[in-house]
Amino acid sequence: MSQVQAVPASPLKQRWLKWRFHLNILLILIPLGFMPKYFADARLFRGEAGLGANVINDIQVGPYTLDLAEMRDEPPRADGPAGHFKVFNASLCKACVNGVKAAYLRIGKPRSLRAAGTIFFGAPYNMGTSLPIPPRTKPDAQVWITLEGWDGSMHQASVPLAKASPATVAWLEKQGGKK
């Protein structure tokens, strides 16, 4: 005759055995809470929610026009030792798409085409770039857009940083131009 005896389970084990099924349901429910943010992000990245925040429409750059917007209405994000960056989106006008080879963004007027700033990448109707924000940027600085045409031409225009990204200007003022 076998002498099997049920080992008395500890209270903790008993609770685990009793509730583990319900815990699994909870684990399914947790991701649901993140769904609204996920879908909002997906809409933003696909461009269905527009270009971004603080859109400036129809900026005339030479013969071309483009729309500029910051990705999110928020201060620049730190990227380790490389400094702080701000993501901007832009959209070229339908007629410009074939003429424009490259679009650049820079704080302050570029010294040359070589140093025109950071390049936009992606589809011409929804391009993106991350713009470095030097810590000593003046709050009244201008954001310069440089368009390089396939014909070798270069066209430039500027918009005030305060208009393109009020959150960045607020962040700069809070920093007080230090560092």
Partner 1 sequence: MKHLMRTFALPLLVLAAGPALAHNPMCECEELPGAQVKCTGGFSDGSGAPGVTLDVIGYDEQVLVGGKLGDDSTLTFKRPDGEFYVLFDAGPGHVVEVDYADIAQP
- SS3 assignment, position 148: strand
13: exposed, middle or buried (C-beta count within 10 Å: 0-12, 13-18, 19+)?
Answer: exposed
Residue length, the chain? 179
The answer to whether residues 119 and 129 touch, using CB atoms and an 8 Å cutoff, is: yes
The answer to whether residues 40 and 21 touch, using CB atoms and an 8 Å cutoff, is: no
The stretch near partner 1 (CB under 8 A) out of 9-17, 46-54, 110-118, 149-157 is 110-118
The stretch near partner 1 (CB under 8 A) out of 13-21, 59-67, 126-134, 165-173 is 126-134
CB of 151 to partner 1, least distance (A): 17
Site mask for partner 1 (CB under 8 A), range 130-159, x = bound: x-x---------------------------
Rounded to whole angstroms, the Cα distance separating 179 from 133 reads 13
Site mask for partner 1 (CB under 8 A), range 53-92, x = bound: --------------------------xxxxx-x-------
- Contact status: 115 vs partner 1 (CB under 8 A): yes
Among 54, 65, 118, 175, binds partner 1 (CB under 8 A): 118
- Contact status: 40 vs partner 1 (CB under 8 A): no
Antiparallel, parallel or unpaired: β 126-133 and 100-107: unpaired
Rounded to whole angstroms, the Cα distance separating 63 from 126 reads 19
Backbone angles phi, psi at 39, to 5 degrees: -70, -35
- Contact status: 129 vs partner 1 (CB under 8 A): yes
Interaction site with partner 1 (CB under 8 A): 79-83, 85, 102, 104, 111-112, 114-121, 129-130, 132
